[in-house]
Chains A and B, each alone.
Chain A
């Protein structure tokens, strides 16, 4: 990003972009070296760099979904690499499931990011559309919470059964 920005000749922001980019890379490197806590600072710095790049540059950027997918993949991969350093040997089925998990997370992030970007663009549209979108989101959140709660309690025996 810093290199791209330098190519565009954006003088005042260049220092910030370089600094945040370096912090991001350094944080990830330290995270890979074994201190997991540094990874989050790296991810935050990279996100902040992207924000600095986007400040004052019009409406919401479609590329934000890709940045989000990249950020979460970086975090997940760093965690995986830290796990891989333990002497525990992973069976192939566990590796395949982890890869599948990564793919689902990346794809889900792209879909979710696109939805939020679309919602952001709708925010500039008519009030009725915004209200409908907000109501839909609220219903969806309630549905997710209800499903999760039922999934948690379905496996437990009822009080009558336990007594």
Chain B
């Protein structure tokens, strides 16, 4: 606890001193009358002041993991041995946290040995990690000549996970892995999905004979099936640039989309990895299950745009992060040459690549200024050309505008992949 004098202490002493000297100099007792209350308050304050003794000073955070948009209650409990004339409890908050109910800075009188609580309900509109719990307490003495500052550093990270969008369908990888999953493999083997009929050969299991076809054709025929396998998906998050798009930035939207897509793949028992490609490179090896889901979410919470001019290609990404036959699903605004180059390289190395283009274009009327209008048109043309170039090398791209349903973009990527398969088959 730190004690420091209030501005009143020096002020009252100065006023009393000047008036008393003035009274002696001028011989006017009126100045003594004016000085008297200042002097009395000063003396009384100095004689009676005491630092408060907190019996209880605690902070309770309702929970430390929540989804963006949710609210939690923080409660500060304070109790003192002696009466405290005025207590100020201040809870510094990060800029984008909204106060739903209560006050984050409150002043009140604290009677002796009576517990007081200050509750504030906070709403977190954006995903991220918020260190909450640095409580500043200031006690004023009865005559407000001294102030005692105390601090309860009960900071703990409140993790706000991105809100996941409901996705009914996702981009299906072209190739499957060996483990059992929900993805129907192209090859035939033990499974549920019907693949084809073929004549019986020695060694076939009798159970696989299709009796109807056998009866029709007069010789034994067996039923082939597609096995259900899992797949490897690497989510490629571009954090080189961030652009405000009306209600959110491209990185905010990209993180939400990545979290949503990762959740759906993991529910299907696929292995999901993450590469956050930006000024700072972060990666997560592909994995399965709910633990991997939390690993991905926690990795996404640390996402930030780090300004860097250094050229980076996919050679900086650890090889094991990109397993063979994996689907690389990029979530990017396609603004930085380095990330665009990386996508071309990945495709060139034979990876199955899909792109959800987190559109940085803000919907609205065309600019009034002819130069701005021209620049806007040139930019739109360049983006169209980039989309065409990506599609030409077999990368399916869908543009996802702010406010649009993510499912539409996912469907578009999947549809263009299906048609591409037909063309190249």
Residues of A within 8 A of B (CB): 36-37, 39-40, 43-44, 47-48, 50-51, 54-55, 60-61, 64-65, 67-69, 71-72, 75, 79, 82, 86-91, 93-94, 97-98, 105, 108-109, 112-113, 116-117, 120, 123, 144-145, 148-149, 151-152, 155
Contacts and interface: CB of A to CB of B under 8 A. Distances in A.
Interface string B38-60: 10110010011010000000000
Interface stretch (B14-22, B270-278, B281-289, B310-318): B14-22
Contacts of B103: 89
Interface of B: 7-8, 10-12, 14-15, 18-19, 22, 26, 28-34, 36-38, 40-41, 44, 47-48, 50, 81-82, 85-86, 88, 90, 103-109, 144
Given A64-B34, A112-B36, A79 B105 contact: no
B33 A88 contact: no
Contacts of B12: 75
Nearest to B36: A112
B30 A108 contact: no
A155 to B, nearest CB: 6
Contact of B28 (A54, A71, A75, A91): A54
Main secondary structure, interface of B, reads: helix
A69 B38 CA distance: 10
A139 to B, nearest CB: 16
The listed residue with most B CB atoms (<10 A of its CB), out of A72, A82, A120, is A72
Given A87-B105, A88-B88, A79 B7 contact: yes
Contacts of A61: 30
A36 B18 contact: no
Contact of A72 (B30, B37, B106, B144): B37
Nearest to A35: B7
A152 B90 CA distance: 29
Contact of B18 (A44, A50, A75, A91): A44
Nearest to B111: A93
Contact of A55 (B19, B28, B82): B28
Contacts of A50: 30, 34
Nearest to B22: A51
Contacts of A69: 37
B107 A91 contact: yes
Contacts of B11: 36-37, 39-40, 75
A136 B418 CA distance: 105
A142 B82 CA distance: 25
Given A44-B15, A71-B38, 15 more contacts: A47-B15, A65-B33, A72-B38, A75-B15, A86-B105, A87-B90, A87-B104, A88-B106, A88-B107, A94-B107, A112-B36, A117-B29, A120-B32, A145-B47, A155-B82
Contact of B30 (A60, A86, A123, A155): A60
Contacts of A54: 28, 30
Contact of A149 (B26, B40, B47): B47
Contacts of B8: 75, 79
B47 A64 contact: no
B47 A67 contact: no
Contacts of A60: 28-30, 33
A112 B40 contact: yes
A40 B47 contact: no
Nearest to B37: A109
B31 to A, nearest CB: 6
